[in-house]
Each structure stands twice: as structure tokens, then as C-alpha cells.
Structure 1
Amino acid sequence: MTVNEDSFTNWKTREEIAESMIPIVGKLHREHDVTVLLHSRSLVNKSVVSILKTHRFARQIAGEELSVTETLPFLQALTTLDLGPSQIDIGMLAATYKTDDRGLSVADFTAEAVAGATGANKIERREGRDVVLYGFGRIGRLVARLLIEKAGSGNGLRLRAIVVRGGGEADLVKRASLLRRDSIHGQFQGTITVDEATSTIVANGNTIKVIYANDPSEVDYTAYGIKDAILIDNTGKWRDREGLSKHLRPGIDKVVLTAPGKGDVPNIVHGVNHDTIKPDEQILSCASCTTNAIVPPLKAMDDEYGVLRGHVETVHSFTNDQNLLDNYHKADRRGRSAPLNMVITETGAASAVAKALPDLKAPITGSSIRVPVPDVSIAILSLRLGRETTRAEVLDYLRDVSLHSPLKRQIDFTTAPDAVSMDFVGSRHASIVDAGATKVDGDNAILYLWYDNEFGYSCQVIRVVQHVSGVEYPTFPVPTV
């Protein structure tokens, strides 16, 4: 057999194994509310090729490719356990098993590693929590996609309604079309039908009522059977407690803002300060996409090295707040054509750090340049550290954080030497450390952090909503860092 034939045979074998994993992953998700992960990446509803690519991606962060032959036994072991709702990372199971010297079988090791999700320890399924989207723009539609994707067994978050202003003839059809097809993020994964008579969109079996209103005061959500819902305001029209309180109407229990909050509204970055949310807090903010991108790595660096001061420069894709062609805008420069210019503008991300990381005493400054790309941005985080270090040490540390720490869902890591912005469209992490661009000189470090300012941020929003709704299930194995 030639080398080429051997490689192809190996590929077909791995394809067959990956194909056998799909029904196992699906059954665990539907019947037990278990989300199977591979190094923090969900394998639910993934294709054969996607599963193989996810295994191969481990090479970039762990130094070697992870094989489906290594992870399949752990997946099979899960099917023998009395599992409760949870997230289980088979990549981490395989990695930790390699370093375990007790001679346990895969089945025994797996049972021990996920013991917190089995038997008497498992949490019971909770009744689904209603969710309402107020606004249906870029972030609103991506959050809708994620909510529909995560509906799973139907016991988690349920997108019940979308509130928008009337847009004229065929409004519902046009909004459904924008959900179905996206120029950046591609086709919706599933089926969408529209019922104009009842003003509903049915997406993958989820019936979503479209409510037309010009102001929150016009809506009584209980009239639509909605109760104790979490409302996600993605319009940004109201950002303080007084304005956002308008949403606390019959049927709405909590309000989550997808923009930086003002005044005493808590700004939450999941993974960093989500555990500070008070149970009775009804109004909170998910801060900005840039704040979510810089705060997790900033916290990681402060924990290990101490941060004395810092500056963040964001090179940010253009947004709908800018003009397509030169026209009047209330801001000084945002009126100039977004697809044709680099536009210097302000960012509130640096000042928002204090709300998310109150223990960080270092002054952080920031500025931003909008550039002619439609999605994915990069934050250049320049830090003065509390002690001297080396580039190799920093990279080893951040790689380990991305793999093993409680921040592994927020911080990703890439060693790809040819990585460019489009490579990170669809990333579910808050930011991705670019190893090749990282610079360290004594006590000065410069981190280059890619982030999908649309989708990655939307994932952070969903994590916050899951947390406050009580359907944020524990992850196993438990991070060790």
C-alpha cells in the first residue's frame, strides 16, 4: 500500500468513527441535557467533517492532534452512566487520562471524573425559561440562532417572542429571511417557516411570536402566555436603570442589555464576574464586545503577573452605527463612509474594565479605529506587568489558561502563522490569543486578541442569560487552574 493510500484509508476510518459519535452526542443531548464538548467546543449537531476538524484544531493549542480513536471510548463510557444536565469535555477527559498513573480503565476514570453529574449528585432538569428578544438586529438575530440551537431537549431557554417596530408590507417575511440567511455568518442551520396570520416564525420547531410595538409600555407579555421571562434588549436605546425598567412589564422578570450599562447597572463579563450577580437583580448589562474580549485575558495576566497599567487599542470592524456613504452623523467622524475609511473613534471598553474587575487597581486607557471589514476585530492589549517574564512563559501560561482554567470558554489560543480576521468568524470565545503576534520584553507584554464582535459576543450574552436563568449547567472535568 502506498503512503497516499494509507493516508486515505486512515481518513476513511476516522470518518467512520466520527460518524458513530454523532448519534451518541445527539442522544445524550436530547435525553439527558448533556452537551458534549471537545476542548470547550460543542459537538452537538456537528457534521462528520466538523468533528474531525475540531479534533485536529487541538494540535494548535495542545501541540498535537487529538484523534477520534482517543475520545470515542470516553464518549461510549458516558452512555453507561446515570447522567444529569451538564457539559462534559471529552477532550479534557482524554488529556487528563493520559497523565493519570493509577491504571484505571477508561470507564472507571470517566465515572470518577464526572461523578458530580451522576447519581445522587446530578441536578434535575429544570422547567424551560422563557426568553424575549427586544429588537432583532445583528446581535438579536445571532442570539436568536443560539437560543434555537440550544433548545435541545426543550428544558433550557425557550425563545418565545421577538418585539420589533412595524416595518410595513411583508415585514414578517423579511425579518424571517434575515434570520434564515446572513452574509457573514451563513445559512441558518435548520428550517424556518412563517405564519403571517398568527404573526409567528417557526424555527426548528420553536414557535416564536413576533410582537409589534413602539415602546415597552405597549406590551403585556402574559397575553401571549409568557411568564417570568428574561428579556434581552439588543436595541441599546435604554442603557440606565430607569430606562431599562420600562421592560419590567407583566410576564418579564429580568432584563439583560447587550450594550454597556450606565450608572449602577452591573456590567457582566461571563467567566470573570458573573458570579457576583445578586439573585434579586432584575437589570444587568453584558457590557460591550470589546470589554468581553479584553477583560478575561486581562484578569488572567493580572492573576499570574500583576498588571500595573495598560492600554488597549481596538481595530474594530464597522457597524450599523456608521454610514455606508458620507452623511450627517451626530458623532464627529462616524458620518464618513465606513467601507472606504479607517475611522478613529472612542471606546468605553477601558473604563468598563473597572466595573468588571473592581480589584484591578491598574489604570487602563483605550482608543479605537473602525476599519472596512464587516466582522471580527482585534484588540491590542499593551501591559506593564508586576514582574519580568519571557514570551515563552506568557504563551505557555495563556495556552494552559485556554485549555484548563475556568476562563477556557472565554479565552481561545491560536498558533496559526497565517491567521487573519476572517478565520475567526463564528468563534464562540470572547477572544483568541494570537501566539505569533505576542510580544514580551521584560515587564512589558503586548497581546493581540482577535474576537468575533458579533457572534463571540452573542455567545457571552447567552452564557449570562443561562446563568441568571439557572440553566447554566456544570462542566466536567472540573478545571484545575
Structure 2
Amino acid sequence: MTVNDDSFTNWKTREEIAESMIPLIGKLHRERDVTVLLHSRSLVNKSVVSILKTHRFARQIAGEELSVTETLPFVRALTELDLGPSQIDIGMLAATYKADDRGLTVEAFTAEAVAGATGANKIERGEGRDVVLYGFGRIGRLVARLLIEKAGSGNGLRLRAIVVRGGGEQDIVKRASLLRRDSIHGQFQGTITVDEANSTIIANGNAIKVIYANDPSEVDYTAYGIKNAILIDNTGKWRDREGLSQHLRPGIDKVVLTAPGKGDVPNIVHGVNHDTLKPDEQILSCASCTTNAIVPPLKAMEDEYGVERGHVETVHSFTNDQNLLDNYHKSERRGRSAPLNMVITETGAASAVAKALPDLKARITGSSIRVPVPDVSIAILNLQLKRETTREEVLDHLREVSLTSPLRRQIDFITAPDAVSSDFIGSRHASIVDAGALKVEGDNAILYLWYDNEFGYSCQVIRVVQHVSGVEYPTYPAPAV
């Protein structure tokens, strides 16, 4: 048998093993609200090839490829346990099991590692929480996709309604079409039908009412059977407490803004300061995509090295608030053609750091350039540290943070030498450390942080909503603190 034959036989064997994982992972998700992860990447509803690629990607961050032969026994062990709602990282299970020298079986080790989600310790599945989207633009549609994807057994977040202004004939058909197909993020994973008579979009069995209103005061959500809901305002029209309070109508309990909040509105970056939210807080902001990209790695660097001061330069994809061709705009430069120019503009991300990291005393400045790409941006974080270090030490630290720390859902790590912006479309992390571009000299470190400013940010929004709704399930094995 030739080397080529050996490689192909090995591939077919791994395909067969990955295929056997799919029904086990699906059953755990549907019946028990258990999400199986591999190094923070969900394996729910993934194809055979996607599962194999996710295992191979572990080589980028952990240094060696994970084999499905290593992880399948842990998936099987999970199906035999009395699990409650949780997220379980089989990549971490495999890594910690390999390092354990007690001689336990996979079954015994798994039971011990996820004990907090079993038996008397497990969280009881609730009735779920209603969610309303106010606005249905770029972020709104991606958040809708994520909510539908995460509906699972129906006991988590439930997208009940979308509020938009009337757009004329076949409005709901056109909006459903924008949800179904996206030029950047591809096809919706599932089926979408439209019930025009009842103004409803049905996506993967989820009936979503489309409510037409020009103002929050026009809507009584209880008339649609909506109660105790979290409303996600993705219009950005109101950003202070007074304006956002207009949404606190019958049926709405909390309001989440997908833009930086003003005044005393808390700006929340999940993974960094989400646990500071008071249970009775009704209005909060998820800050900006760039704030979410820079604050987690900034915290990781502050915790390990201390930060004296820093500057962030963002090279940001163009957005809908710019013009396709030169035309009037209230901002001087944003009126110039977005697909034809690099456009210097402002960013509020640096000043927003203080809200998310109030203990950070370092002065952080920032600026931004919009460039002619439709999605994925990069933040260049230039830091003066409180002690000298080396490039190797910083790389090891950030790799470990991405794998085992409480920030592992926010920070990703890549070593690919030929990585470019389009490689990160669809990333679910708030930011991705580019190991090859990192520069360190003495007490100066320059981090290059990629981020999908649409999808990665939308994932952060969902994490915040899960937290405030009480359906943010614990992750096992527990990350290192």
C-alpha cells in the first residue's frame, strides 16, 4: 500500500468516526441543552468535514492536531451521564485527561470533570426567555440567525418578534430574503418560509412575528403573547437611558443596545465585566465591535504584565453609514465613497475602555481608518508594559489565555503565516491574536487583533443576552482563573 493509500484510508476512517459523533452531539443538544465544544468552537449542527477541520485547527493553538479517535470516547461518556444544561469542551477534556496521571478511565475522568452539571448539581431547564429585535439591519439579522441556531430544545432564548418600520409592498418577503441570503455570511442554515397573512417569518420552526411601528410607544408586546422579554435595539437611534427607556413597554423587561451607550448606561464586554451587572439593571449596552475586540486582550496583558499606556489603531471595514459614492454626509470624510477610499475617522473604542475596565489606570488613545472591504477589521494595539518581556513569553501567555482562561470565548489565537482578513469571516470570537504579526521589544508590545466586526460582535451580544436572561450555562471543564 502506498503512502497516498494510507492517507486516504486514514481520512475515511476519521470521516466515519466524525459521522458517528453527529447524532450523539445532536441528541445532547436537543434533549439536555448541552452544547459540545472543541476549544470553544461549537460542534452542534456541524458537518463531518467541519468537525474534522475543527479538530485540525487545534494544531494552530495547542501545537498539535486533535484526533476524533481521542475525542469520541468523551462524547460517548457524556451521553451516559445525567447532564443538565451546560457547555462541555471535549478539547479541554482530552487535554486535561492526557495530563492526568491517576490512571482513571475516560468515563470516570469525564464524570468527575463535569460533576457540576450532573445529578443534584445540574441546572434545571427553564421555560425560556422571549427576545424581541428592534430593527433588522446587519447586526439584527445576524443576531436573529444566532438566536434561531441556539433555540435547541426550546428552553433557552426564543426570538418572538422583530419590530421594523413599514417598507411597502412585500416588505416581509424582502426582509425574509435578506435573512435567508447574505453576501458576506452566506446562506441561512435551515429553512425560512413567510406567512404574509399573519405577518410572520417561520425559520427552522421558530415563528417570528414582524411588527410594524414607527416608534416604541406604538407597541404593546403583550398583545402578541410576549412577556418578560429582552429587547435588543440594533438601530442605534437611542443611546442614552432616557431614549432607551422608551422600549420599556408592556411585555419588555430589559433593553440591550448594540452600540456604545452614553451617560450612565453600562457598557458590557462579555468575559470582562458582564458579572458586574446588577440583576435589576434594565438598560445596558454591548459597547462597540472594536471595544469588544481590544478589551479582552488588553485585560489579558494588564493582568500578566501591567500596562502603562497604549494606543489602538483600527483598520476597519466600511459600514452602512458610509456612502457608496461621494455624497452629502454629516461627517466630513464619511461622505466620500466607501468602496473607493481609505477614510480616516474617529473611534470611541479607546474611551470606552474605561467603562469596561475601570481598574485600568493606563491612558489608552485611539484612531481609525475605514478601508474598502465589507467585513473583518484589525486592531493594532500598541502597549507600553510595566515590565520587560519577550515575544515568546507573550505568545505563550496569549495562547494559554485563548485555551484555558475565562477569556477563551473572547480571544482566539492563530499561527497561520498567510492569514488575511477574509479568513476570519464568521469567527465567533471577539478578537483573534495574529501570532506571526506580534512584536515585542523590551517593555513595548504590539498586538495585531483580527475581528469579524459583524458576526464576532453579534456573538458577544448573544452572550450578554444569555447572561442577563439566566440561560448562560456553565462551561466544563471550568476555565483556569
Same fold (TM over 0.5): yes
Following the alignment from structure 1 to structure 2, what is the Cα–Cα distance between the partners of residues 246 and 79? 46
SS in 1 for 2:466: helix
Following the alignment from structure 2 to structure 1, what is the Cα–Cα distance between the partners of residues 120 and 130? 28
Following the alignment from structure 1 to structure 2, what is the Cα–Cα distance between the partners of residues 75 and 53? 17
Following the alignment from structure 2 to structure 1, what is the Cα–Cα distance between the partners of residues 176 and 122? 38
Q: How many angstroms does 1:126 deviate by? A: 1.0
SS in 2 for 1:387: coil
The C-alpha deviation readout for 1:278-319, integer Å capped at 9, x for no partner, is 000000000000000000000000000000000000000000
The C-alpha deviation readout for 1:189-221, integer Å capped at 9, x for no partner, is 000000110000000000000000000000000
Following the alignment from structure 2 to structure 1, what is the Cα–Cα distance between the partners of residues 365 and 61? 30
Following the alignment from structure 1 to structure 2, what is the Cα–Cα distance between the partners of residues 436 and 116? 38
Following the alignment from structure 1 to structure 2, what is the Cα–Cα distance between the partners of residues 417 and 310? 26
SS in 1 for 2:45: coil
Q: How many angstroms does 1:237 deviate by? A: 0.1
The C-alpha deviation readout for 1:88-121, integer Å capped at 9, x for no partner, is 0000000000100111110000000000000011
SS in 1 for 2:163: strand
What is the match of residue 148 of structure 2?
A: 148
Following the alignment from structure 2 to structure 1, what is the Cα–Cα distance between the partners of residues 126 and 286? 24
Q: How many angstroms does 1:401 deviate by? A: 0.2
The C-alpha deviation readout for 1:12-45, integer Å capped at 9, x for no partner, is 0000000000000000001110000000000000
Following the alignment from structure 1 to structure 2, what is the Cα–Cα distance between the partners of residues 128 and 477? 25
SS in 1 for 2:253: strand
Following the alignment from structure 1 to structure 2, what is the Cα–Cα distance between the partners of residues 145 and 479? 28
Following the alignment from structure 1 to structure 2, what is the Cα–Cα distance between the partners of residues 440 and 17? 42
SS in 2 for 1:269: coil
SS in 2 for 1:367: strand
Q: How many angstroms does 1:394 deviate by? A: 0.1
SS in 1 for 2:87: strand
Following the alignment from structure 2 to structure 1, what is the Cα–Cα distance between the partners of residues 222 and 79? 40
The C-alpha deviation readout for 1:173-195, integer Å capped at 9, x for no partner, is 00000000000000000000001
Q: How many angstroms does 1:264 deviate by? A: 0.0
The C-alpha deviation readout for 1:35-63, integer Å capped at 9, x for no partner, is 00000000000000000000000000000
Following the alignment from structure 2 to structure 1, what is the Cα–Cα distance between the partners of residues 478 and 419? 31
What is the match of residue 291 of structure 1?
A: 291
SS in 1 for 2:333: coil
Q: How many angstroms does 1:439 deviate by? A: 0.1
Q: Is the counterpart of residue 408 in structure 1 residue 408 in structure 2?
A: yes
Following the alignment from structure 2 to structure 1, what is the Cα–Cα distance between the partners of residues 79 and 420? 39
Q: How many angstroms does 1:261 deviate by? A: 0.0
SS in 1 for 2:386: strand
Following the alignment from structure 1 to structure 2, what is the Cα–Cα distance between the partners of residues 120 and 229? 29
SS in 1 for 2:198: coil
Following the alignment from structure 2 to structure 1, what is the Cα–Cα distance between the partners of residues 151 and 60? 31
Following the alignment from structure 1 to structure 2, what is the Cα–Cα distance between the partners of residues 341 and 480? 44
SS in 1 for 2:143: helix
SS in 1 for 2:152: coil
SS in 2 for 1:168: coil
SS in 2 for 1:266: coil
Following the alignment from structure 2 to structure 1, what is the Cα–Cα distance between the partners of residues 354 and 134? 28
SS in 1 for 2:442: strand
The C-alpha deviation readout for 1:367-393, integer Å capped at 9, x for no partner, is 000000000000000000010000000
What is the match of residue 31 of structure 2?
A: 31
What is the match of residue 431 of structure 1?
A: 431
Q: How many angstroms does 1:480 deviate by? A: 1.6
The C-alpha deviation readout for 1:410-459, integer Å capped at 9, x for no partner, is 00000000000000000000000000000000000000000000000000
Following the alignment from structure 2 to structure 1, what is the Cα–Cα distance between the partners of residues 122 and 353? 36
Following the alignment from structure 1 to structure 2, what is the Cα–Cα distance between the partners of residues 443 and 255? 42
Following the alignment from structure 2 to structure 1, what is the Cα–Cα distance between the partners of residues 197 and 100? 60
Following the alignment from structure 2 to structure 1, what is the Cα–Cα distance between the partners of residues 196 and 28? 36
Following the alignment from structure 2 to structure 1, what is the Cα–Cα distance between the partners of residues 310 and 382? 5
What is the match of residue 254 of structure 1?
A: 254
Q: How many angstroms does 1:341 deviate by? A: 0.1
What is the match of residue 371 of structure 1?
A: 371
Gaps of 5+ in 2: none
SS in 2 for 1:388: coil
Q: How many angstroms does 1:130 deviate by? A: 0.1
Q: Is the counterpart of residue 64 in structure 1 residue 64 in structure 2?
A: yes
Which consecutive aligned stretches of 4+ in structure 1 deviate over 2 angstroms post-superposition?
none
SS in 2 for 1:265: coil
Q: How many angstroms does 1:409 deviate by? A: 0.1
SS in 2 for 1:436: helix
Following the alignment from structure 1 to structure 2, what is the Cα–Cα distance between the partners of residues 318 and 277? 32
| TM-score (norm. length: structure 2) | 1.00
**RMSD (Å), alpha carbons:** 0.3
Following the alignment from structure 1 to structure 2, what is the Cα–Cα distance between the partners of residues 420 and 78? 37
Following the alignment from structure 2 to structure 1, what is the Cα–Cα distance between the partners of residues 290 and 480? 27
The C-alpha deviation readout for 1:251-284, integer Å capped at 9, x for no partner, is 0000000000000000000000000000000000
Following the alignment from structure 1 to structure 2, what is the Cα–Cα distance between the partners of residues 418 and 55? 20
| TM-score (norm. length: structure 1) | 1.00
Following the alignment from structure 1 to structure 2, what is the Cα–Cα distance between the partners of residues 457 and 420? 19
Following the alignment from structure 1 to structure 2, what is the Cα–Cα distance between the partners of residues 453 and 411? 14
SS in 2 for 1:21: helix
Following the alignment from structure 1 to structure 2, what is the Cα–Cα distance between the partners of residues 272 and 339? 34
Corresponding pairs, count = 481
What is the match of residue 418 of structure 2?
A: 418
Following the alignment from structure 2 to structure 1, what is the Cα–Cα distance between the partners of residues 126 and 322? 42
